[in-house]
Amino acid sequence: MAKQTSYHKGVVAENIVADHYTQCGHQAKASRMKTAYGEVDLVMEKNNQYVFVEVKCSKTFAQAAIRITQRQIERIHAAAEDYLARLGLFGLVDCRFDAALVDANGQVEIVENAFI
């Protein structure tokens, strides 16, 4: 049951972050985008720049940030490369990798280019 609660908290956090990006003029391209290399929480696009977003939710922004592992960073890079290649966009569009941190109050902090 606790796992289901964590799943639902993650979905809510991802929706909050997607809304934040949308309000900033981004278009949602994918959520929970799965590839053979792993999953990316959100893929957003604005002005032909693709933003691959890892969403982390915890009591504080700092606690959320420390939950991003090196393995996740590698997975996101590989999944993004695969995604862009499948669309025929690899090497043709600018991309960025953001960490979106959500605290217990539902506040969002975006760390742009969190892992290059």
pLDDT, tens digit, for every residue of 13-28?
999 999 999 999 999 9
Confidence of residue 10 (pLDDT cuts 50, 70, 90): confident
pLDDT, tens digit, for every residue of 36-65?
999 999 999 999 999 999 999 999 999 999
- pTM flag (> 0.85): yes
pLDDT of residue 4: 54
DSSP string across 13-63: HHHHHHHHHHHTT-EEEEEEEEETTEEEEEEEEETTEEEEEEEEE-SSHHH
Residues 55 and 9: their CA atoms lie apart, in Å, by 11
- Asked whether the predicted pLDDT for residue 1 surpasses 50, the reply is no
pLDDT of residue 14: 96
Average of per-residue pLDDT values in the chain: 93
- Asked whether the predicted pLDDT for residue 109 surpasses 80, the reply is yes
Ordered by where they begin, the domains of the chain are 2-111 (3.40.1350.10)
Which stretch of DSSP H or E encloses residue 95?
A: strand 94-102
Residue with tokens 């959520």: 31
